[in-house]
Structure 1
Amino acid sequence: MKTNSIKHIAVFTSGGDSPGMNATLYAIAKASEANGIKLSGIRKGYEGVIDGDLVSLNSNELKNVTQKGGTILKTARSKRFMELEGRKKALQTLKTNNIDALIAIGGDGTFKGLLAFSEICDIPFIGIPGTIDNDISGTDYTLGFDSAVNTAIENIDKIRDTAESHNRVFIVEVMGRDSGYIAIHSGLMVGADAILIPESGKDFIYLLDKIKNYDSEDAFLVVVSEGDEIGAELVSSKIKEVNANVDLRITRLGHVQRGGNPSALDRMLGIRLGVAAVDALLQGRKNIMAGVLNNQLHFTPFEEVVKEHQVNKELHQLLELFGK
C-alpha cells in the first residue's frame, strides 16, 4: 500500500562519482512526478545537506543527461557530517526545506553516514549503490562497475598492442581499493597472464612462477588492483628479482575508469533502482538500500549493507584456473 504522506523528496550523490548516477536521477524524477511528489537535488553530497544547497529537478531536463558520466549534482566528502553538530545542522536544513524523505546515491561511506544520521533524524532514507568498485553487499552490481570494467578492458586491449610490439611485460593497475572485482573481471576478459586482487594470497605466487622463465615474443600482461597489498611497484621489483631480463612497464589507469558514458547495463540499473527507491518510500519503507540480486529487486537494511562485499567462490576458482 502506498502512502501519500511524502510530498517532497530530496536526492544527493556522495563519495566517488560513478557512471549511471545521472540516469538514476532521471528515474527518480520520473517516478516522483508520476506520484505528484516534488523533487529537489542536493549539490555536493553531505556538504550540501548541511548547507541547504538545493536545486529543483525535473525529468524533462534530466533525460538529456542520462548518457553522461559523473554526476550533475556534484559530489564531495564531508568531514563536518562526521561530527554530531554537522548532522544536527543537516537535520535542521531538511526541516527548514520541508523535506519528507531522502535518497542517497553512493557507496559504503554514504550508507554509514545515513545510518548515523538515522539516530537523530526520523525521516525515511533510501540508499542506491553507486560505486565503481562493486564492494557493497546487498546487490550483485553497483552503479558504474560495468562501465569501469569496459573502460579498463578498452585501455588494456590498447596496452596489449604496444606490449606485443616490444615483447614487454606490462603491469596495469586498475581501481579497487578494497575489492578486486574490476581487476578480476577486466583481467579475465583481456586474457591477462596474471591477476592480483586483495582477496587472494595465491595470485602472486602464480605470477612469479610463470614469469621466472618468461622468454617469449608474446606480451605478458599483469592486472593488479590498486588495493592489493603487494602493489604495482613491489610487483615490478619482485619480477625483476626472478627474471632480470624482462622489459617491464607500469601503467596506472586511475580515474579514467570513473569517467565516460555509462554502459547500457549501468543506465538500466540506475533506472530500475531509481524507481524502486521512490516506490519503497511510498510503501513506508526506510533505512534500506535498493539493489538487485539474481536480477530481482532486493532491499537490504543499512546495518547489513555496510558489511564488505567479498569476491565470491566462483570468481576465486576462475582466478585460480586462469592464473596458473
Structure 2
Amino acid sequence: MKRIGVLTSGGDSPGMNAAIRAVVRKAIYHDLEVYGISYGYAGLIAGDIRKMELGSVGDIIHRGGTMLYTARCEEFKTLEGQKKGIEQLKKFGIEGLVVIGGDGSYRGAQKLTEHGFPTIGVPGTIDNDIPGTDYTIGFDTALNTVIDAIDKIRDTATSHERTYVIEVMGRHAGDLALWSGLADGAETIVIPEADYEMNQIISRLERGQERGKKHSIIIVAEGAGSGMDFGKRISDATQMETRVTVLGHIQRGGSPTGADRVLASRLGAKAVDLLLEGEAGRTVGIQNNKLVHHDINEVLAQPHSVDLDMYKLSQELSI
C-alpha cells in the first residue's frame, strides 16, 4: 500500500484534528502518501480530495472541530453514491481509507468494505455510543464542557433557590448525562437506558425540600426526552420554581482535553498500522487502556450500553 485517504464524517467532536494529524504523520513516517477528503462522504463523491503534507496538519492538535470539515450525505447511503465514491478513490490512486466519525460514518465504512475497499473506522463522537471501545474521541472534552456548565448553573440555582433541568446531548445514549450527573452530584439523572418513575422523582424533590434543600439539579439525556417537557411536568406537579437549560451544540466545541488528544493520536496511528498490515473492515478502540480492533460488522451489530452500576451509584449518592 502506497497511498491512503482520511475523512471525517457526521457530527464533529473535539479531538478529530488530533486524529487527522496522527493519520497523516504516521502514514508519512511509513513513506505513504496521504490524501485528505473534505466534507466527509459528500466530498468523497464530489472528488474534494487533496494531498496532505507534514505541514498540512501543523498546529491543529489543540483545535476543536475538524480541519477536513464534515457533512452528512444521504446519497452515500445508496449503491450509486457508494460506487461514485469508490470511483473517486480509484481516480486518486487511494488504496485504503481511514474514516473518523460515529455510527453513521461507520456504516459508510462498512459499505466500502463490502465493495472490497480497505477501510478502517476511528470512533469520533461526543456521544460515546460506539461499541468496541471504552471511550470515543471527544467524549471527555464534551463531558468537561457539560460539567463546567452545570457548575455555573448550580451557582444561580443556589442564589435563586430553584430547580434546574439541564438537557444534554448524546443522541440515543445516556453516557454524557450519566457521567456529568454523577460528577456534579445531580439529584436526578434521566437516561434512555434506564426506566424512571416520575412520581419517584417528584417525591425525591419534595423530600429534599422538606429537609431544607434550597435547589436541585436534574440532568436529562436528549435520548430520554425533552428537557422542556420534563421541566413543565415537574413545575406542574410540585409548584416549584423550575428553569430549563438546553446546552445544545456548545457541547461539541472547544479545545480537546489532554485525554482526547492522546486517545485520538493513538487511535489514528493504529488505524494506519492496520492498513499497512493488510486489514480491512476493522474499527479501532481502547479497552482497559489497551488499543484494540474489531470487525466493523460485529461492532455495528452490538447495541450500545451504559454502566448501570454507575447509574445505581448516582441514585444512592443523591438520596
TM-score range, shorter chain: over 0.9
Give the residue type in structure 2 aligned to 1:139: T
User: Within 2, Cα distance between the matches of 1:265 and 1:67?
Assistant: 12
Measured after TM superposition, the shift of residue 213 of structure 1 is: 4.2
Q: Paired residue for 2:214, among 214, 218, 233?
A: 218
Counterpart for residue 165 of structure 1: 159
Aligned length: 316
Counterpart for residue 54 of structure 2: 59
Residue ranges of structure 1 left out of the alignment (5+ in a row):
1-5
SS of 1:308's equivalent?
A: coil
Q: Paired residue for 1:78, among 73, 76, 99?
A: 73
Is it true that 1:113 corresponds to 2:117 in the alignment? no
Counterpart for residue 14 of structure 2: 19
Measured after TM superposition, the shift of residue 233 of structure 1 is: 2.4
SS of 1:118's equivalent?
A: helix
User: Within 1, Cα distance between the matches of 2:315 and 2:299?
Assistant: 28
What does 1:285-300 correspond to in 2, within 5 Å?
285-300=279-294
What does 1:310-321 correspond to in 2, within 5 Å?
310-321=305-316
Give the residue type in structure 2 aligned to 1:219: H
User: Within 1, Cα distance between the matches of 2:149 and 2:217?
Assistant: 12
Measured after TM superposition, the shift of residue 323 of structure 1 is: 4.5
Identical-pair percentage: 42
Is it true that 1:322 corresponds to 2:284 in the alignment? no
Measured after TM superposition, the shift of residue 218 of structure 1 is: 2.7
Is it true that 1:282 corresponds to 2:258 in the alignment? no
Give the residue type in structure 1 aligned to 2:289: N
User: Within 2, Cα distance between the matches of 1:30 and 1:162?
Assistant: 46
Is it true that 1:31 corresponds to 2:26 in the alignment? yes
User: Within 1, Cα distance between the matches of 2:195 and 2:213?
Assistant: 29
RMSD: 1.4
Counterpart for residue 3 of structure 1: none
User: Within 1, Cα distance between the matches of 2:232 and 2:293?
Assistant: 45
CA contact (8 A) 1:14 1:110 kept: yes
Counterpart for residue 304 of structure 2: 309
Counterpart for residue 179 of structure 2: 185
Give the residue type in structure 2 aligned to 1:228: A
CA contact (8 A) 1:18 1:132 kept: yes
CA contact (8 A) 2:113 2:280 kept: no
Residue ranges of structure 2 left out of the alignment (5+ in a row):
none
C-alpha change, 1:203 and 1:148, in structure 2 (3 Å) is farther
C-alpha change, 1:123 and 1:116, in structure 2 (3 Å) is closer
Counterpart for residue 125 of structure 2: 131
Measured after TM superposition, the shift of residue 48 of structure 1 is: 0.9
User: Within 1, Cα distance between the matches of 2:5 and 2:83?
Assistant: 17
SS of 1:212's equivalent?
A: helix
Counterpart for residue 50 of structure 1: 45
Please give the TM-score of this superposition, normalised by the length of structure 1.
0.94
Give the residue type in structure 1 aligned to 2:202: L
Decide which structure has greater helix share.
2
Counterpart for residue 138 of structure 2: 144
SS of 2:6's equivalent?
A: strand
C-alpha change, 1:204 and 1:321, in structure 2 (3 Å) is farther
C-alpha change, 1:142 and 1:205, in structure 2 (3 Å) is farther
Range 196-205 or range 183-192, more displaced: 196-205
User: Within 1, Cα distance between the matches of 2:280 and 2:67?
Assistant: 25
Output one character per residue of 1:36-83: Cα deviation in whole Å (capped at 9) or x when no partner.
000010000000111110122223341301100000000000011011
Measured after TM superposition, the shift of residue 305 of structure 1 is: 1.6
Is it true that 1:154 corresponds to 2:148 in the alignment? yes
What does 1:87-98 correspond to in 2, within 5 Å?
87-98=82-93
